[in-house]
Structure 1
Amino acid sequence: MIANLIRWSVANRFFVILGALALLAAGLFALRPTSVDALPDLSDTQVIIRTSWPGQAPQIVENQVTYPLTTTMLSVPGAKTVRGYSFFGDSFVYVIFEDGTDLYWARSRVLEYLNQVQGRLPEGAKSALGPDATGVGWIYEYALVDKTGGHDLSQLRSIQDWFLRYELKTLPGVAEVASIGGMVKQYQVLLDPVKLAAYGITHQQAVQAIRQANQEAGGSVLELAEAEYIVRASGYLKTLDDFRAIPLRTAAGGVPVTLGDVATVQTGPEMRRGIAELNGEGEVAGGVVILRQGKNARAVIGEVKDKLAELKKSLPPGVEIVPTYDRSQLIDRAVDNLTHKLIEEFIVVAIVCALFLWHVRSALVAILTLPLGVLAALLVMHVQGVNANIMSLGGIAIAIGAMVDAAVVMIENAHKHIEHWQADHPGEELGGAARWKIVTEAAAEVGPALFFSLVIITLSFVPVFTLEAQEGRLFAPLAFTKTYAMSAAAILSVTLVPVLMGWLIRGHIPAEQANPVNRLLTRIYRPALDWTMRRPKTVLLVAALVFASTAFPLSRLGGEFMPQMDEGDLLYMPSALPGLSAAKASALLQQTDRLIKTVPEVESVFGKAGRAETATDPAPLEMFETTIQFKPRDQWRPGMTPAKLVDELDRTVKVPGLANVWVPPIRNRIDMLATGIKSPIGVKVSGADLAEIDRIAHDVETVAKTVPGVSSALAERLTGGRYADVDIDRAAAARYGLNISDVQAIVSGAVGGEEIGQTVEGLARYPISVRYPRELRDSLDGLRQLPILTPSGQQITLGTVANVSVVDGPPMLKTENARPSTWVYIDVRDRDLTSVVADLQRAVAQKVRLSPGVSIAYSGQFEYLERATERLKLVVPATLAIIFLLLFLIFRRLDEAALIMGTLPFALTGGIWTLWWLGFHQSVATGVGFIALAGVSAEFGVVMLLYLRNALAERGADPSADEVAQAVREGALLRVRPKAMTVAVILAGLLPILLGHGAGSEVMSRIAAPMIGGMLTAPLLSMFVIPAVYLLLRRRRLPPEVSGRRSSGAMP
């Protein structure tokens, strides 16, 4: 069938060229709108529910908001994990869905279930869905600063909230713009309880009066002088004097009692749950731009920067916008790096082809088909919606060498046929129909086997497609593009390549031995091959010993999920002990930022304590997140590397109470979403008793610090929060005509503060808060002396009806699938992940005592590695069985198919030794490299066997033993030039990837390393072991009388 397709292509070459030109045009057209990002989107489909309930303690939020929401969301179709976070005044519920779930379908389902549970939530708790973004949507961050001192933090935050935020949200790809830091302006009404009592005014009466004084109303229209006048009754509060003039009641003699008579009215900052700081120089306000799912990150960032440049003209004098994180820098570095690698590979392939073929026009056949194959892969990428990133472009990069292999072999075979014709027709010129016939037959001779060998390479990547969750999303683009590229190469090899050969392979073709490179290789190979064929069993023994030698490097290779990618920027993410005040958090943040800025390579430091105003950031105030931007590499000190830089930063930033964690920004957000863990290893402790799981988590932390390779370990504290507990005496309250809610209203409103509305000032909206003065609520005695006006008009104190004391409680609560949990964050340095986890599990099992109902689970990157390993154990054998079946279909003999399959382990030997020599750990990336190597090695074996079978077929149906040996020898020698070309092309294509630096090189080098090592052993395998084993197989098939016959001079 394939041979017929080749003949049809040559016969209809005009249509083939037309199709190739159409492919070229479509591929170039698809390049422009292709979405570009640094990494594939590795995050799960998530829907976030944020519920605000101001002033409420974490335990109350958990019981009345988070628990009802999480238990309801467990029933949402497709939900695999539901995580709940209960903070002071806020609840966050993350619903994580199964792979492949459409985001907008998931949001609709969550909204349906949210409507069901909304009625069970307390009054004042307001739920809303988070933005339609992924976990890696934070693409751009900036700070607002005023070095002239003309604008305070409140004014800077107002510029962000009411000007920049809404302007940026108009951009199509922006899902949300979250404000961070600064101070939110608030109108604060501080009621004096003594004066309220003196005038006989209750707290609620004052609140109601303020609400009624802050509104406007319309009165339809008036018709005057044949015109309509719209009636409007103004009434919004605009100034502090407007507040003070609010009437509360009329005293004796008709004198009004106003709010100013019983309260102090002022503006001040709202309670802060998030703080931002820049370069250790002081607090700032800022913003985070969050990308809408599926949008082009680089294009959106470009639009954001253009918009900000435009908006700078409208900023007040002195106010500047300072970029603090820009992912487009990483995207540009990563894509440019791989693009340059692809160009280098193209050039090297062209040089290698010309060098070995010694015929430029012939080299053009391979050179012209290569970009077409790449463009075909990019076209399918565009249609499928796969964006251009490190992994998708990397798939093309590692495929380039194998893509041209079929064309190289086909060209080389055509050269052989033309050389034979020239030898038979000296002095004649090959042209016209005769040339086309020879080229066609040469292509048809090797085309079917080449086509199926490329199919085998393509099929070898099936295990990568079966990877699940994050590892599947990471490597799927690479697998897709490599598959598309190899499929395009396979199709082009039997359609376009024969046509181009007929047009371009003209004139005199130099004999193979005329090329000095080929002469040298043949001179080296011939005696070695002769020795091999005289001692085939010895060769097998040597190959077995070489393979056995891999036991040494295998025993010393560590394991990791993925090498840490250098994103260019870095996050410093320590956690302090709970109960940290906003003032202390600000001081610590400035201290750590100032220390980080002392390192010469640091360009800027943007620190965040607590959370930004977005559902995508469920961080407590004691969690710091500092974004570090570095200077260009050419400005670093000599010898400085990213790893050394992290070590220096770790030594520089030593603050008591802070456990250092250094992670890349994108990697961190992916891990936080997927497992809730911000470090490479996390231990989840779950149970019903908060005190017990807190004890066990602390024990795990203590044990983890003793494990070699652990640089830091920190358990989140479920206790340690400090509560001023008001325990109401029901009987005492009843004696004064008060119920529980009456006393609680005083505690929540007068002490905690009650947001009762907003002022309307143009586009801006500022909250109005009512509470008692600080001096009445800043101590336990002050709380006990809070006056309460009873229904009968009697004035009592809070201490009369309640006991006020300090108790310990949870500073925050986390649940997973409605089960209380806590996390132990463990950072690893200078040791592989698998070894650390193995030692950690052993130490925890020996030293940590678990109570009934408490469970421990190991998560983070270790979880991904374990899941990927288990999946590959099942899928790789199944894939090998499919490849074996294909080999049988090609050769129609079980022994020859088994020969190819049996030699695959020997091909992996070089890859294993290369990993050990380079100091790389085993990972999913190296596993992908070995899978790709196995496919190429199988293709080597197929082509070698094809040459051997063709050479043997020329000896007739009943060759002697010596004729078999001679045929094997000749077939193997014919393979020298195409094999050398193939190996040279693949090595030349992979070496720039292995040796390259820059964004993405960490991952791609791990894929390239085993392939390069295998390219040193797989050719030796196919050139020596396969001929030796094939010789043994053919001799065994010979009848005894034939195998005994010898012909003189068969073997030199």
Structure 2
Amino acid sequence: AGRVGRIALLTTNLLLAVLVAWLLTVDWMPLGLDRSSATNFIFVFMVIGGLLLAFRGFELIYGSVLRWCLAHKAMFLSIPIVLLVLAGSIWLGFDKVFGWIPKSLGDGIAETRLWKDATQKFPGLGREFRPALDEGSFLFMPTVSPHASIDEATEALRQLDAAIAAIPEVAQVVGKIGRVESSLDPAPISMVETVINYIPEYKSDEKGRVLRFRTDAEGDYLYDESGALIEDSKGKPFRQWRPQIQSPDDIWQEIDRVTRMPGVTGAPKLQPIETRRVMLRTGMRAPMGLKIKGPDLETIQNFGLEVERLMRSGEIPGLATATVNADRIVGKPYLEIIPDRDAASRYGLNISDVHEAIQGAIGGKMTGTTIEGRERYMVQVRYARERRDDIESLGRILVTSKEGAQVPLEQLADLRYVRGPQVIKAEDTFLTGHVTFGSDPGFAEVDVVEAVRNYLSDKEASGELHRPQGLRYDFAGNYEAALEFNRTLVFMLPICLGAIFMLLYLDSRSVINTGIIFSGVAVAWAGGFLMLWLYAQPGFLDFELFGHHVGHLFNVGPINISTAVWVGFLALFGIATDDG
């Protein structure tokens, strides 16, 4: 009976493993959709089987390992201590963890080869607010010259849309300039917003399911009489991207290349939903930037342009210099009409007469109502566009005096163009301007912002950057959100750990036993950071299986500390104590 039970248990476990492997294969398809489901299933089953065999092997040697650990307690306890120190170096960096040693023994030790190698090997993990999600679209937000007319801005938008639409992987391009008819959209004419949707990598149906198409013996696709692909559930999927396009990042690189035009700034990589959240939270159109607050717009703009010049020098590691963009606040042409009281009085006119003539000619004036059945429409009268679209035409607007004389406006007022703001932003009662920027691939947002902050501080200290009296700047965007999350984490992490400890104590009613079980949290924490560090190492999982690089299959690469990582650690702490 015992043998039959073991066989039944083994059979059940094997069937469950096969079922899990098949479900994971259908959802994951690690070797790609161009490989058959059977090949993908074999790969997934090998991965699961390998993990189960490794666990079974550990079970077989567990007794021997336990006896050795009990016989060499001091040596065994040194292992988790070393792991904790190693985890701290991985997280914070070797310099921060062991920085007290040069202060105590002298700076000479920091110049040794061993110290430099350790510092280079353990620089600390990058930091960001949260990892980006793939929304299936981009938001391209450059700016044009602030003094550009509507026609010039529209032409620039047309050229940008045409260049982006010419990319084969782009499905739809919709761009706009300025703002919609809403007081909640303060965008100036120079601000471009272009939503770019790209086609999926493989041809799919309306529900996003990948379609398969019939092929011949050589693997070439077959077509019907109309030239369309023939659907076949046993065929292979049709890849719509070019061979050199392997990821959405490659599509963005193409967009960045074709949109380099005179008079148009660069833009960081953005996605619609992510950017809208940043804009609602900070008012900026980029995930990183600084807010300059000062006494007047001219001072804010000049300081922002100086900051932009310094940041574009290429001296800041990780900063994408092409995306650095300071707001051009002052530069929009304004038309000023200043009535001359003396000239108006000579023609028997007062200022209100001149104002009414200007309002009626340019803005329009309600003169009556037209009735069409049950519908009523207000009638507005004003000059035709060709008689009011330039300063010379405006000067010929006729103002009627009380005696009936027609006097040109240019004889009654001074008409001139002046520079003014294209948009006025204010926060906390201070006038505000922005300098936005992005990061190069592979660099964490928080680290880039801190590098920019240190760089600007050094420039101020050396006198290369002069900050006017009454002006200050603060970094905002995801950097600000990351700092806020860290402040929250300082309170939440002890609360979660305390709750875990209390639950363990209520179960065992022993502080010693609870402490022993709770120590698994520290070991799990160290193991988590060790795995994050291994993921960033060049040789980790650097081999091929079934013609595919295993590291690419498991997305091996640098992982930054973010909200997602810390939430994962909280879940790991609970799991680590669950089997104690």
Q: Give the TM-score taking structure 1 as reference length.
A: 0.39
| Residues in 2 aligned to 1:920 and 1:517: alpha-carbon distance in whole angstroms | 26
Give the secondary-structure state (helix, strand or coil) at the position aligned to 2:330: coil
Give the secondary-structure state (helix, strand or coil) at the position aligned to 2:334: strand
Say whether residues 1:680 and 2:254 are aligned partners. Answer: no
Would you say the 8 A contact 1:558–1:834 is kept in 2? Answer: yes
1:636 is matched with 241
1:522 is matched with 59
2:194 is matched with 626
2:489 is matched with 872
| Residues in 2 aligned to 1:763 and 1:896: alpha-carbon distance in whole angstroms | 86
Say whether residues 1:857 and 2:470 are aligned partners. Answer: no
| Residues in 2 aligned to 1:873 and 1:778: alpha-carbon distance in whole angstroms | 60
1:603 is matched with 171
| Residues in 2 aligned to 1:619 and 1:629: alpha-carbon distance in whole angstroms | 22
State which of 452, 457, 462 in structure 2 corresponds to 1:840: 452
Say whether residues 1:561 and 2:129 are aligned partners. Answer: yes
Would you say the 8 A contact 2:178–2:188 is kept in 1? Answer: yes
Measured at CA, do residues 894 and 777 of structure 1 come closer, stay the same or move farther in structure 2, by a change above 3 Å? same
| Residues in 1 aligned to 2:481 and 2:62: alpha-carbon distance in whole angstroms | 46
Give the secondary-structure state (helix, strand or coil) at the position aligned to 1:549: helix
Would you say the 8 A contact 1:784–1:804 is kept in 2? Answer: yes
Would you say the 8 A contact 1:680–1:828 is kept in 2? Answer: no
Give a deviation string over 1:957-976, Cα, whole Å, max 9, x none: xxxxxxxxxxxxxxxxxxxx
| Residues in 2 aligned to 1:658 and 1:765: alpha-carbon distance in whole angstroms | 46
Structure 2 counterpart of 1:879, which letter?
C
Measured at CA, do residues 758 and 908 of structure 1 come closer, stay the same or move farther in structure 2, by a change above 3 Å? farther
| Residues in 2 aligned to 1:594 and 1:772: alpha-carbon distance in whole angstroms | 36
| Residues in 1 aligned to 2:187 and 2:481: alpha-carbon distance in whole angstroms | 24
| Residues in 2 aligned to 1:825 and 1:685: alpha-carbon distance in whole angstroms | 11
State which of 806, 809, 819 in structure 1 corresponds to 2:417: 806
| Residues in 2 aligned to 1:551 and 1:758: alpha-carbon distance in whole angstroms | 78
1:714 is matched with 325
Deviation at 1:751, TM superposition (A): 2.8
State which of 571, 575, 579 in structure 2 corresponds to 1:932: 571
State which of 663, 667, 679 in structure 1 corresponds to 2:274: 667
Alignment coverage as a number of residue pairs: 439
Give the secondary-structure state (helix, strand or coil) at the position aligned to 1:910: helix
Would you say the 8 A contact 1:356–1:518 is kept in 2? Answer: no
Give the secondary-structure state (helix, strand or coil) at the position aligned to 1:578: coil
Say whether residues 1:781 and 2:392 are aligned partners. Answer: yes
| Residues in 2 aligned to 1:736 and 1:687: alpha-carbon distance in whole angstroms | 46
Give the secondary-structure state (helix, strand or coil) at the position aligned to 1:908: helix
1:898 is matched with 515
Deviation at 1:821, TM superposition (A): 1.5
| Residues in 2 aligned to 1:667 and 1:516: alpha-carbon distance in whole angstroms | 42
| Residues in 2 aligned to 1:915 and 1:546: alpha-carbon distance in whole angstroms | 13
1:913 is matched with 530
Would you say the 8 A contact 1:560–1:921 is kept in 2? Answer: yes
What is the correspondence of 1:317-716 to structure 2 with a 5 Å cutoff?
357-358=9-10, 360=12, 520-554=57-91, 555=93, 556-634=124-202, 635-638=240-243, 640-661=246-267, 662-706=269-313, 707-711=316-320, 712-716=323-327
Would you say the 8 A contact 2:398–2:406 is kept in 1? Answer: yes
Deviation at 1:517, TM superposition (A): 9.4
Give the secondary-structure state (helix, strand or coil) at the position aligned to 1:666: helix
Would you say the 8 A contact 1:356–1:517 is kept in 2? Answer: no
Measured at CA, do residues 872 and 731 of structure 1 come closer, stay the same or move farther in structure 2, by a change above 3 Å? same
| Residues in 2 aligned to 1:567 and 1:777: alpha-carbon distance in whole angstroms | 46
Give the secondary-structure state (helix, strand or coil) at the position aligned to 1:611: coil
Deviation at 1:518, TM superposition (A): 8.7
4+ runs of 1 displaced by more than 6 Å?
A: 361-364, 515-519, 755-767
Q: Give the TM-score taking structure 2 as reference length.
A: 0.69
Would you say the 8 A contact 2:275–2:287 is kept in 1? Answer: no
Give a deviation string over 1:685-721, Cα, whole Å, max 9, x none: 1223111112122223223334333321112222101
Give the secondary-structure state (helix, strand or coil) at the position aligned to 1:550: helix
| Residues in 1 aligned to 2:285 and 2:514: alpha-carbon distance in whole angstroms | 48
Measured at CA, do residues 820 and 648 of structure 1 come closer, stay the same or move farther in structure 2, by a change above 3 Å? same
| Residues in 2 aligned to 1:744 and 1:911: alpha-carbon distance in whole angstroms | 73
User: What is the percent sequence identity of the aligned residues?
Assistant: 33
Deviation at 1:777, TM superposition (A): 3.2
Higher Cα Rg: structure 1 or 2? 1
Give the secondary-structure state (helix, strand or coil) at the position aligned to 1:679: coil
Give a deviation string over 1:504-547, Cα, whole Å, max 9, x none: xxxxxxxxxxx999975432211111111111221110121122
Give the secondary-structure state (helix, strand or coil) at the position aligned to 1:839: helix
Measured at CA, do residues 655 and 762 of structure 1 come closer, stay the same or move farther in structure 2, by a change above 3 Å? farther
Structure 2 counterpart of 1:910, which letter?
G
Deviation at 1:660, TM superposition (A): 2.7
Measured at CA, do residues 715 and 521 of structure 1 come closer, stay the same or move farther in structure 2, by a change above 3 Å? closer
Give the secondary-structure state (helix, strand or coil) at the position aligned to 2:579: helix
| Residues in 2 aligned to 1:760 and 1:569: alpha-carbon distance in whole angstroms | 48
Would you say the 8 A contact 1:572–1:660 is kept in 2? Answer: no
Measured at CA, do residues 885 and 522 of structure 1 come closer, stay the same or move farther in structure 2, by a change above 3 Å? closer
What is the correspondence of 1:21-60 to structure 2 with a 5 Å cutoff?
none
Would you say the 8 A contact 2:500–2:574 is kept in 1? Answer: no
Give the secondary-structure state (helix, strand or coil) at the position aligned to 1:628: strand
Gaps of 5+ in 2: 1-5, 20-51, 94-123, 203-239, 536-556
Would you say the 8 A contact 1:593–1:607 is kept in 2? Answer: yes
Deviation at 1:610, TM superposition (A): 2.1
| Residues in 1 aligned to 2:375 and 2:512: alpha-carbon distance in whole angstroms | 81
Deviation at 1:361, TM superposition (A): 10
| Residues in 2 aligned to 1:529 and 1:538: alpha-carbon distance in whole angstroms | 13
State which of 743, 746, 751 in structure 1 corresponds to 2:354: 743
Measured at CA, do residues 762 and 823 of structure 1 come closer, stay the same or move farther in structure 2, by a change above 3 Å? farther
| Residues in 2 aligned to 1:756 and 1:819: alpha-carbon distance in whole angstroms | 42
Measured at CA, do residues 819 and 791 of structure 1 come closer, stay the same or move farther in structure 2, by a change above 3 Å? farther
| Residues in 2 aligned to 1:922 and 1:781: alpha-carbon distance in whole angstroms | 61
Measured at CA, do residues 581 and 756 of structure 1 come closer, stay the same or move farther in structure 2, by a change above 3 Å? farther
| Residues in 2 aligned to 1:939 and 1:748: alpha-carbon distance in whole angstroms | 77
Deviation at 1:566, TM superposition (A): 0.9
Deviation at 1:630, TM superposition (A): 1.1
Would you say the 8 A contact 1:671–1:678 is kept in 2? Answer: yes
Q: Which has the higher helix share?
A: 1
| Residues in 2 aligned to 1:563 and 1:516: alpha-carbon distance in whole angstroms | 33
What is the correspondence of 1:68-87 to structure 2 with a 5 Å cutoff?
none
Deviation at 1:768, TM superposition (A): 5.2
Relative to structure 2, which stretch is displaced further, 664-673 or 891-900? 891-900
| Residues in 2 aligned to 1:517 and 1:689: alpha-carbon distance in whole angstroms | 67
Measured at CA, do residues 837 and 589 of structure 1 come closer, stay the same or move farther in structure 2, by a change above 3 Å? same
Would you say the 8 A contact 1:357–1:363 is kept in 2? Answer: no
Structure 2 counterpart of 1:852, which letter?
Q
Give a deviation string over 1:986-1045, Cα, whole Å, max 9, x none: xxxxxxxxxxxxxxxxxxxxxxxxxxxxxxxxxxxxxxxxxxxxxxxxxxxxxxxxxxxx
Would you say the 8 A contact 2:521–2:577 is kept in 1? Answer: yes
Deviation at 1:567, TM superposition (A): 0.4
